[in-house]
Amino acid sequence: MNKIGFVYNALVPEAPPFIDSLIESLKLRENSWICSAVDLETAPDLLEQTTLIVVAGGDGTILRTIHVIAPHSIPIVGVNMGRVGFMSELRPENAAEKLPSYLNGDMRVERRMMLYAEVFSPSDDSLVFSAHALNDVVVGRGGVARLLDIATRIDGVDLTSYRADAVIISTATGSTGYALSAGSPIFFPEARMLIMQPVAAHTGLRDGLVLPDSSVVELSVADSRHASLSVDGLDEVDLEPGSTVTVNQSPHEALFLRSEPPTFFYTDLTRRLGLVYNLSGPGN
C-alpha cells in the first residue's frame, strides 16, 4: 500500500505533536509513517512505497530531506515551522485544511535542478567524497580568518584564480540563500543553470557568472590546509592540499507540489523578503 511520509525537525518542540494531530485529523494513521529528518537516512525501507512526503520544519529540514529522497523521485510538501521558508508551501494553521488536495494529486509538480559535487584526492585522483545539493556547493575557508586562492576551470578551460573567502556554486534555488548574501541576483527557481559567485573577492572576478546547466566546474585551492567543502550547509569536509572539487548537474531533481501557478514565485518572494509593492503610486 502506498504510504505518506511525515518528516519533522526534531529541534522544534512543536513539530512532533503537530504532525501527530495532522495525521489524526486526516485519518492517515494506517497509511503513513513518521520520522525525524536526522533519522531519515537510516530508514531507507520507508521510502520504497512512499508517494508523498510532508515536511514540518524550515528550509534546512527540507534540504536534509531532499538529500535522502531525491534518488527516489518522491515529491514533498513543506509546512513552514522555520523562519523564512522559501521552499515551504503551507503554514501550520492551514495545513489540515489544504493538505487533502495535495494527497489527491491535484497539484502542479515543480521540478528543481540539483548539483552533484565530487572531491578527488591529490595523490592518486581517486574519489574521496561525493554529495548532491539543492542549494549550493561552497569551497571556502575552514574557520580561519584568511583568504584562499581558488583556481577555477569551466569545461576544461581555465577561468581565473579567485583570492576570496569562498566560491559558491549555486542552483537557481540557492540564489535566495548564501549566494544572495554574497551579491548574487535572484533567479526563477525552476531555471536550469549553475551560478558561480565569489564571496568577498580580493582579486580576480568579483561578479558572479551564470553558466549553462551542462557546465562542469572545477575548483582547487593551492594551499588548502584551512579549506573545506560545504554542501547545502549540512555536510562539510576538510580539503587536503591540492584537492580538486568538481561540480556539475545532478541526475536527480527535487520535486515540490505547488497549488499556485509558477508566477506566484514573484508574489511570494516579496512577502518572504519583507518587501512592499505599492500599486496605487504616489499621491493616490
Q: ∠158-161-165 over CA atoms, to 5°?
A: 140
Rounded Cα–Cα distance for residues 76 and 282 (Å):
42
Half-sphere exposure of 5 (CA within 13 A, CB side): 27
Rounded Cα–Cα distance for residues 239 and 246 (Å):
13
* 203 Cβ contact partners less than 8 Å away, ≥ 6 residues apart: 161, 162, 163
For the full predicted model, state whether its pTM sits above 0.85: yes
Predicted confidence at residue 274, as pLDDT, reads: 72
From first to last of its 284 residues, the chain has per-residue pLDDT tens of 589 999 999 999 999 999 999 999 999 999 999 999 999 988 878 898 899 999 999 999 999 999 999 999 999 999 999 777 789 999 999 999 999 999 988 899 999 999 999 999 888 889 999 999 999 999 998 766 678 899 999 999 999 999 999 999 999 999 999 999 999 999 999 999 999 999 988 876 778 999 999 999 999 987 656 899 999 999 899 998 888 999 999 999 999 999 999 999 988 888 777 765 554 444 43
**Exposed (0-12), middle (13-18) or buried (19+): which is 83, by Cβ within 10 Å?**
exposed
Predicted confidence at residue 283, as pLDDT, reads: 43
The answer to whether 85 and 63 have CB atoms below 8 angstroms apart is no
Domains and CATH numbers, the chain: 3-106 (3.40.50.10330), 114-251 (2.60.200.30)
Predicted confidence at residue 281, as pLDDT, reads: 47
Rounded Cα–Cα distance for residues 83 and 272 (Å):
9
CA distance to 58, 94, 105, 133, 162, per residue, from 233 (Å) = 14, 29, 32, 9, 21
Closest CA to 168 of 230, 214, 213: 230
- Dihedral of alpha carbons 75, 22, 263, 87, sign: negative
Closest CA to 163 of 178, 174, 152, 175: 152
* 45 Cβ contact partners less than 8 Å away, ≥ 6 residues apart: none
**Exposed (0-12), middle (13-18) or buried (19+): which is 181, by Cβ within 10 Å?**
exposed
Give the active site residues: 59
Predicted confidence at residue 20, as pLDDT, reads: 95
